[in-house]
Amino acid sequence: MFIMLYYKDPSTSQEIGRAYSLASRPGSDTLELYISMVHGRFTSKLDTAKVGDIYYVSGPYGQFRFDPKKNRKVLFIAGGTGIAPFMSMLRHIKEKGFDIDAVLIYSVRYPTEIIRKSELEDFAKSIGLKLVVTVTRPQQGDNWTGETGHINEEMVKRHVADLTERDCYVCGPLNFTNAMKAVLSNLGIESAKVKADVWG
């Protein structure tokens, strides 16, 4: 699910709003959002937000849903802050104790951009999540020993041997979700088995 976050400029009364996915688990009394600061119209406002500014939310909205009772074998693919809905789902799975076989492939530019790293690693122990993080812009001195480069057919095949048995969920910016739909399609996954939350 996502919410709309709005800012109203007090001097002009102009309002601007953007959609943000919820990382909080269903039923949580807090809203956790992961926002990429892309220096656009809204994120520039957020970047300089100060006490006294008024932001408000509406929602929740959206159809990017996962029913752990129906979909036991899933593949989640996240690009950057596109990890948000999967964080919400994984927290829900853990809290309710659902028996799920989930693989998460998570693409970030730098290791420092991995959101909630220790919580994600903990899901491996608590709910058996298979976590694959790939860093697309590894730097010397990162000491990164995991996957590198963009998610492609070869990487998915290597980590998800039983891909055809899984329902696939993809979330992130438009370019990313388009690329991932193409990767899954090239691997023979019919589009009906792929749900995408597209931010564009």
Ligand X SMILES: Cc1cc2nc3c(=O)[nH]c(=O)nc-3n(C[C@H](O)[C@H](O)[C@H](O)COP(=O)(O)OP(=O)(O)OC[C@H]3O[C@@H](n4cnc5c(N)ncnc54)[C@H](O)[C@@H]3O)c2cc1C
Q: Provide the binding-site residues for ligand X, judged by CB under 6 A.
A: 2, 18-21, 33-36, 38, 40-43, 81, 84, 173, 199
Give the dihedral sign, CA 120/127/106/55. negative
In the complex, the smallest distance separating the C-beta of residue 5 from ligand X, rounded to whole angstroms, is 8
- Give the nearer residue to ligand X in terms of CB position, either 16 or 124: 16
In the complex, the smallest distance separating the C-beta of residue 11 from ligand X, rounded to whole angstroms, is 19
Query: What is the CB-side half-sphere exposure of residue 22 using CA atoms within 13 A?
Result: 25
- Give the nearer residue to ligand X in terms of CB position, either 138 or 172: 172
In the complex, the smallest distance separating the C-beta of residue 31 from ligand X, rounded to whole angstroms, is 11
- Give the nearer residue to ligand X in terms of CB position, either 18 or 25: 18
Residue closest to ligand X, measured at CB: 40
> How far from chain centre, in Å, is Cα 145?
22
Block residue for tokens 């690329």 = 179
In the complex, the smallest distance separating the C-beta of residue 81 from ligand X, rounded to whole angstroms, is 4
| Rounded Cα–Cα distance for residues 12 and 45 (Å) | 14
- Give the nearer residue to ligand X in terms of CB position, either 40 or 146: 40
Helices (H), the chain: 41-47, 84-96, 117-126, 153-159, 174-186
